[in-house]
């Protein structure tokens, strides 16, 4: 297998883009990623997206992107894997380059959720689970996350603020992130006093409707030698695993088996150890997922992630910073784009382009993207050198 590198990213600010369509968003991100690269051609385009058919009545995003970018003729395809679609698209591009089939690829993640009514948004997220089992019964992703949350608090006998403090970190980091949706700080009191969405989950522990697009260019070592190595970051491994779609079908709903499997596989493929990971961009569409992921990865003991947060382990200046630009909670969660945002943010960190959010001395980082509540997990490791 050949080495795969990332060089060039484009990020559209996450917000509700009422005056822009989905074509504009993905084109803007792509042009930003490509604009300073001396690339003669792109061999293929991969797009991560979840809801275009439902919300924009638009399929064929692959051909549409090629047309908008003036790249008609090259292969271009959309990839869907619930809200890990962006990371899944990146994995497809990574494998094609690593296998030698392609030398360059453009990966775009895009979503425009503000086009939908609230009931359409809920219906879309309900598809992330077994719809016949949950959706028809009115059981939403939010209510399932709340059940996990309640189970976690009871099993480990911990107060709610141990989990509710994760959004505080996310907003702290997003306050200085130019592309973040919510660039303001919040306190634990703000979180605990926000309205209950589904007991015990509160409004400030959930993501909101978001539009956005992110793009990243991947290339082989041969292509990189022509483009120039300055500003390149190695994509050391991209691994994917699956689990039962409904979390309460699993032997232990609080253990994200797909996360553990994907992460361990990516470490093996990258020939790295857990200690070499210095930054984590993780999937926190609900606050409870942050501790569950950190504990499933082995960076915190079971039920102890909240204690580690209180000690400052996961802050921007801590031992292992997480969600350095605000994560899904505060940077925003435009479903199909989120996985690409995560990897692009690692790229910014490892190239020293993270501005006020820069983590000093980091040489390797990890992105964990989930489909639904852990039915799919994609682990991406990036490193300098």
226 pLDDT tier (thresholds 50, 70, 90): confident
The structure's pTM equals 0.97
pLDDT digits (tens, 9 = 90+) for 64-94: 999 999 999 999 999 999 999 999 999 999 9
Tokens of 305: 């992630």
Q: Coil, strand, or helix at residue 209? A: coil
**Domain limits, the chain:** 4-117+209-234, 139-204+235-383
Q: The domain at 4-117+209-234 falls in which architecture?
A: 3-Layer(aba) Sandwich (3.40)
**Whether 280 contacts 291, CB under 8 Å:** no
Class of the domain covering 139-204+235-383 = alpha beta
Looking at the chain, how many residues does it have? Answer: 385
Q: Where are the beta strands (DSSP E) in the chain?
A: 4-11, 45-48, 76-79, 104-112, 196-198, 201-202, 211-220, 233-242, 279-281, 364-371, 376-383
Predicted local distance difference test score (pLDDT) of residue 202: 98
Strands 233-242 and 201-202, sheet pairing: unpaired
pLDDT digits (tens, 9 = 90+) for 175-200: 999 999 999 999 999 999 999 999 99
Out of 19-28, 71-80, 125-134, 211-220, least confident range:
125-134
137 pLDDT tier (thresholds 50, 70, 90): confident
């Amino acid at each position: 297998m050949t080495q795969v590198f990332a060089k060039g990213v484009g990020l559209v600010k996450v917000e509700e883009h009422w005056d822009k369509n989905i074509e504009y968003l993905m084109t803007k991100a792509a042009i930003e990623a490509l604009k300073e690269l001396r690339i003669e051609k792109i061999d293929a385009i991969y797009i991560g997206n979840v809801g275009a058919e439902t919300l924009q009545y638009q399929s064929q995003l692959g051909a549409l992107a090629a047309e908008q970018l003036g790249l008609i003729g090259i292969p271009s395809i959309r990839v869907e894997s619930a809200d890990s679609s962006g990371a899944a698209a990146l994995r497809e591009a990574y494998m094609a380059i690593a296998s030698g089939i392609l030398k360059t690829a453009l990966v775009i993640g895009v979503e425009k959720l503000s086009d939908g009514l609230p009931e359409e948004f809920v219906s879309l997220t309900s598809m992330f689970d077994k719809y016949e089992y949950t959706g028809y019964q009115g059981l939403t992703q939010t209510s399932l996350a709340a059940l996990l949350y309640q189970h976690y608090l009871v099993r480990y006998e911990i107060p709610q603020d141990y989990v509710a403090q994760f959004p505080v970190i996310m907003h702290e980091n997003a306050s200085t992130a130019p592309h973040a949706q919510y660039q303001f700080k919040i306190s634990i009191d703000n979180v605990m006093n926000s309205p209950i969405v589904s007991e015990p989950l509160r409004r400030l522990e959930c993501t909101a409707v978001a539009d956005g697009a992110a793009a990243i260019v991947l290339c082989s070592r041969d292509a990189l030698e022509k483009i120039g190595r300055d500003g390149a970051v190695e994509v050391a491994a991209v691994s994917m695993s699956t689990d039962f779609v409904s979390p309460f079908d699993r032997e232990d709903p609080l253990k994200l088996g797909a996360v553990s499997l994907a992460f361990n596989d990516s470490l093996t493929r990258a020939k790295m150890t857990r200690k070499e990971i210095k930054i984590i961009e993780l999937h926190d569409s609900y606050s409870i997922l942050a501790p569950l992921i950190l504990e499933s990865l082995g960076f915190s003991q079971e039920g102890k992630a909240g204690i580690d947060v209180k000690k400052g382990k996961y802050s921007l200046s801590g031992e292992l910073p997480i969600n350095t630009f605000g994560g899904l909670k505060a940077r925003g969660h435009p479903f199909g784009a989120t996985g690409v945002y995560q990897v692009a943010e690692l790229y910014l960190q490892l190239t020293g382009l993270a501005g006020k959010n820069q983590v000093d001395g980091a040489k390797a980082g990890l992105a964990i993207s989930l489909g639904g509540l852990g039915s799919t997990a994609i682990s991406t490791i990036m490193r300098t050198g």
